[in-house]
A and B are shown apart, each in its own frame.
Chain A
């Protein structure tokens, strides 16, 4: 390990990211960010304590997005029932903690293992015989049936029916605060929201590194082969049913850990906590973020964490849309249009844009930039004008000149 390696840009960026993640829960108290400087042009630079919780949920959604992305983006299996897996993770954690007194940290890990095994065997093995739309429908049934199963009278003593399971917010262990106090001479202690932030973000970072390695291993390459062509993969010696089950297993493990943390962060879970529209939202998030890349999952998690707030604030940002009643009528339209526009313009998601920009900087030039959007729009326009009756001739002659 040389000094030169330490000065590599990628390493510096990672270190910077790490520092930001570590100091984030304290930023709200710093002079520049506490709202003392107001009205910087059109916005106020203010990071409030709420953002710590926001960032914690981002960590949870990152796990869920990575789980979804591994399954759909990397190995090409579609799932419309992923919210069910997350919900099972949350419930397993809740039941283990509430009914059996298992420590929360262990309960989250056990929930991950449980969903991983169940996902691999119960969903993964049958999924080996299903593909495309059939698999989508089969997985969709999971999220449709799960809430009813959770409300069954027979398991009411565990699940508490429609009322769900709730816990007190998690306090940081005394050990941690004692240690911090000893090191910093009682200057620093964690409160509950800072503690849960570090736990969640720490887990998310670890699991990201793990996923990074998985996707670059033999398993990851097998997944990609599976996605690109099942027949091709089989020809190359990939055991298709095994790897399909494995894809579901690993993905469910991530979703289970995400679900466990979802329960710990929200301190509550009920059968309606996640619904089928959340399932679809997960899929939308990874498609918008970028399929098959970790960066895509990060953008997907950002989408999941902030979309509601952004939509809620649209009336303030869009001129002429200044009252709730207009907004109520237009909001789904605006939301839908934004989704369509994103998919049309950036088919590889937001991560695709970043990669294009990077390749531009590495000296590939404009030619190396992947701009499918422009050609797609051009193509669509051409097809449209050609399909209009009597228009095709005029269009062609115009082009020749």
Chain B
């Protein structure tokens, strides 16, 4: 009896389908995805023909969106989208936006979860109709949407991670641009520093067991170039609560210097464990993603003293610098306390300015391809707080390829140098010989 009933249901459903499909034939024209229209993705279409809509662009507005972490395990970075939003508000208010259009910045919280990033990115593209994705944060979650963005022809501007995956092959992913120095290049400089400072010594590496850690390890090894002995390669999982056992093993291996490729909380606790629990005063070199005030806050000013890492901008305490003065002005505009200025807010200013510059170069009638061309046209461009110039080209989507070293000193980060550049060298071709030492910009030293 029940089975007969079910068959009836299925039969009727089938009939309904047929009826419906026959009835909705006229709607067929609407089924074409607006983002699939070739006008936008054709390489030559830099100017939209009259009457063709570019998603996210109206006469008065440019809509950008991002997937980022406001909550979840790396919520510490949530200050970045907040400050970027404030920066855009500031530009909208003081300059009326870019080329007469105000910027609307839609921030979606993916909680560092890859499936959520997929949901929210598709929502931004298909429902909110964003012009471009800007400063998406988090390597594993961005990895999940990057090819979707290429398929849909949505520019993926200045992703907020240094994974080499974004920038290693611009031909395969022409719509994606990085923002941080790539991790291999960054740690290449760290490796060079180890090789120069600890000749004949031993070093250990603690790394996140994913492509962030793998990229970093490749860089360190290339930079050290076998001049210093690697005594321990200690991977950990993102979900691990601390790095204590990794530190313990490196201590037992008698490392002279320890490299930590990790995020702020774990980095800070690892340094605390070594210096406070083990009383082990080993020098640390940490990742640029942890080289900020948050790590210092968690570890403690005295504990983290002397730790080294890459820096890319002037520091907020260098108040004589015009870029920093502008930064403080925007902080005030956003209603954030001056003490809230940090490496992260400075980074936000850098990416926001880079986006504004790109949009303004894209002209009065921006298209998506026009935006890509505009970004690729940027050479020797300086943001207001950057130490070194940004260079893009069709074969180079990696903006920041000069790395200066900084150090925690007396409760603040100081730019101490040395600085090296690997400008224009593809990730796969990096070796220690790619590095060229450059001078620190004027006024960078305290």
A positions within 8 Å CB-CB of B: 1, 5-6, 11, 14-15, 18-19, 22-23, 26, 28-30, 34, 48-51, 53-54, 57, 144, 147-148, 151, 161-164, 166, 169, 180, 183-185, 187-189, 191, 194, 209, 262, 266-268, 270-278, 305, 308-309, 311-312, 324-325, 327-328, 331-332, 335
Q: Does B214 count as interface, using CB distance less than 8 angstroms?
A: yes
Say whether B140 faces chain A, with CB atoms less than 8 Å apart.
Answer: yes
CA distance A24 to B114 in the complex (A): 26
Choose from B13, B113, B148, B238 the contact partner of A15 (Cβ within 8 Å).
Answer: B13
B106 vs chain A, min Cβ distance (A): 9
Residue numbers in A under 8 Å from B70 (CB-CB): 312, 324, 327-328, 331
Contacts A54-B119, A162-B214, A324-B70 known; list 19 others, CB within 8 Å.
A5-B5, A18-B9, A22-B16, A29-B31, A51-B127, A57-B115, A57-B119, A147-B237, A162-B211, A184-B22, A188-B25, A266-B144, A268-B144, A272-B114, A272-B140, A272-B238, A273-B144, A308-B110, A324-B85
Greatest chain B CB density within 10 A among A19, A324, A331 is at A324
CB contacts under 8 Å to A, within B375-419, are none
Bound-state CA distance A324–B21 (Å) is: 44
Smallest beta-carbon distance B76→chain A, Å: 10
Complex CA distance for A151 and B85, rounded to whole angstroms: 37
Question: What residue in chain A is nearest B114 (Cβ atoms)?
Answer: A273
Closest chain A residue, CB of each to CB of B8: A1
From 108 to 161 in chain B, residues with beta carbon under 8 angstroms from any chain A beta carbon are 108-111, 113-116, 118-120, 122-123, 125-127, 140, 143-144, 147-148, 151
The 0/1 profile, CB within 8 Å of A marked 1, for residues 209-234 of chain B is 11100100000000000000000000
- Measured between alpha carbons, how far is A49 from B129 in the docked complex, in Å? 11
CB neighbours of B52 from chain A (8 A): none
> Closest 9 CB pairs between A and B?
A187-B25, A29-B30, A50-B126, A272-B140, A162-B210, A50-B127, A48-B127, A18-B13, A308-B116
B227 to chain A, nearest CB (A): 26
A7 to B183, CA, bound (A): 66
- Given A15-B9, A183-B21, A325-B82, also A188-B147 (CB < 8 A): no
Q: Are A270 and B237 in contact (CB under 8 A)?
A: no
Task: Answer whether A180 and B21 are a contact pair too, CB < 8 Å, given A29-B27, A331-B109.
Answer: yes
Which listed residue (A22, A57, A305) contacts B13, Cβ 8 A? Answer: A22
- Whether B18 sits at the interface, judged by CB under 8 Å, is yes
Question: Would you give 8 A-B contacts (Cβ < 8 Å), ordered by A?
Answer: A19-B13, A23-B20, A147-B237, A270-B140, A273-B144, A275-B113, A308-B110, A324-B85
Q: A267-B148, A308-B109 are in contact. Are A209 and B6 (CB under 8 A)?
A: yes
- A184–B122 alpha-carbon span in the complex (Å): 31
- B residues in contact with A50, CB < 8 Å: 122-123, 125-127
**B107 interfacial contact with A, CB 8 Å:** yes
Write out the residue numbers on chain B whose beta carbons fall within 8 Å of the beta carbon of A275. 113, 238-239
Instruction: Please name all residues of chain B whose beta carbon is closer than 8 Å to the beta carbon of A164 when the two chains form the complex.
Output: 143-144
Of the candidates B4, B13, B25, B148, the one whose C-beta lies within 8 Å of that of A1 is: B4
Which residues of B are found within 8 Å of A180, using beta-carbon distances? 21
Could you say which of B28, B78, B110, B143 contacts A270, with CB atoms under 8 Å apart?
A: B143
Residues of B within 8 A of A11 (CB): 5, 9
**Are A312 and B20 in touch, CB under 8 angstroms?**
no
| Chain B positions within 8 Å of A324 at CB level | 70, 78, 81-82, 85, 107
Are A163 and B143 touching (Cβ within 8 A)?
Answer: yes
Task: Check if B428 is an interface residue, CB within 8 A of chain A.
Answer: no
Which secondary structure characterizes the binding site on chain A?
A: helix
Of B18, B81, B214, which contacts A183 at CB under 8 A? B18
Q: Judging by beta carbons under 8 Å apart, are B78 and A328 in contact? A: yes
Expressed in whole angstroms, the minimum distance between the Cβ of A258 and any Cβ of chain B is 12
B24 close to chain A: CB less than 8 A: yes
- Taking a contact as CB atoms under 8 Å apart, the answer to whether A6 and B20 are in contact is no
Report how far A343 CA is from B303 CA in the complex, Å. 44
B interface residues (Cβ-Cβ under 8 A, vs A): 4-6, 8-9, 12-13, 16-18, 20-22, 24-28, 30-33, 70-72, 75, 78, 81-82, 85, 107-111, 113-116, 118-120, 122-123, 125-127, 140, 143-144, 147-148, 151, 165, 209-211, 214, 237-239
A6: B residues at CB distance < 8 A = 8
Q: Pick the contact of B123 from A14, A29, A271, A309 — CB < 8 Å? A: A309
- How far apart are A187's CB and chain B's nearest CB, in angstroms? 3
CA A163 to CA B146, docked complex, whole Å: 12
Per the bound structure, the CA–CA distance linking A327 and B109 in Å amounts to: 11
Write the nearest CB–CB distance from A287 to chain B, whole angstroms. 19
Cα of A1 to Cα of B210 in the assembled complex, Å: 60
Chain A residue numbers with a CB within 8 Å of B140 are 162, 270, 272-273
> Whose C-beta in chain B lies nearest to the C-beta of A272?
B140
Q: Is the CB of A270 within 8 A of B114?
A: yes
CB distance from A4 to the nearest CB of B (A): 12
Is there contact, CB below 8 Å, between B165 and A163?
yes
Determine how close the nearest CB of chain B comes to the CB of A67; give it in whole angstroms.
Answer: 16
Query: Across the interface, which residues of B come within 8 angstroms of A311, CB to CB?
Result: 71, 109
CB < 8 Å: which of A19, A34, A53 contacts B122?
Answer: A53
Other-chain residue from A1, A163, A209, A278 in contact with B211 (beta carbon distance below 8 A): A163
Are the C-beta atoms of A49 and B239 separated by less than 8 Å? Answer: no
* A312 in contact with B109 (CB, 8 Å): yes
Would you call A268 and B143 a contact (CB within 8 A)? yes
CA distance A267 to B21 in the complex (A): 27
Which of A183, A262, A328 is packed against the most chain B CB atoms within 10 Å? A328
Let me know if A278 and B28 touch, CB within 8 A. no
Which chain B residue shows the least CB distance to A265?
B118
Residues of A within 8 A of B238 (CB): 272, 275
Interchain CB contact under 8 A, A309 and B24:
no
B89 CB to closest chain A CB, in angstroms? Answer: 10
Task: Indicate which residue in B27, B113, B122, B143 contacts A277 across the interface (CB closer than 8 Å).
Answer: B113
Cβ–Cβ contact B210 & A151, under 8 A = yes
> CB distance A270 to B144 under 8 Å?
yes
Asked whether A191 lies within 8 Å of B123 as measured between CB atoms, the reply is no
Q: Are B118 and A188 in contact (CB under 8 A)?
A: no
Residue among A54, A169, A311, A312 with the highest chain B CB neighbour number at 10 A: A312
Known: A26-B24, A29-B27, A332-B71. A169 touches B120 (CB 8 A): no
Which of A169, A209, A328 is the one whose CB lies under 8 Å from B82?
A328
Q: Please measure, in the bound complex, the distance between the C-alpha atom of A113 and the C-alpha atom of B31, giving whole angstroms.
A: 36
User: Separation in Å of the A66 CB from the closest CB of chain B?
Assistant: 18
Residues of B within 8 A of A331 (CB): 70-71, 109
What residue in chain A is nearest B1 (Cβ atoms)? A1
CB distance from B75 to the nearest CB of A (A): 7
Which residue on B lies nearest to A19, using beta carbons?
B16
In the bound complex, CA of A268 to CA of B214 (Å): 20
In the complex the two chains form, what is the Cα distance from A209 to B3 in whole Å?
Answer: 11
Q: Which chain B residues border A188 with CB–CB below 8 Å?
A: 21-22, 24-25, 28
Report the bound CA distance from A189 to B29 in whole Å: 11
Query: CA–CA, A172 to B344, complex, Å?
Result: 45
Q: With a CB–CB cut-off of 8 A, which chain B residues contact A272? A: 114, 140, 210, 238
CB distance from A262 to the nearest CB of B (A): 8
Chain A residues closer than 8 Å to B116, beta-carbon distance: 308
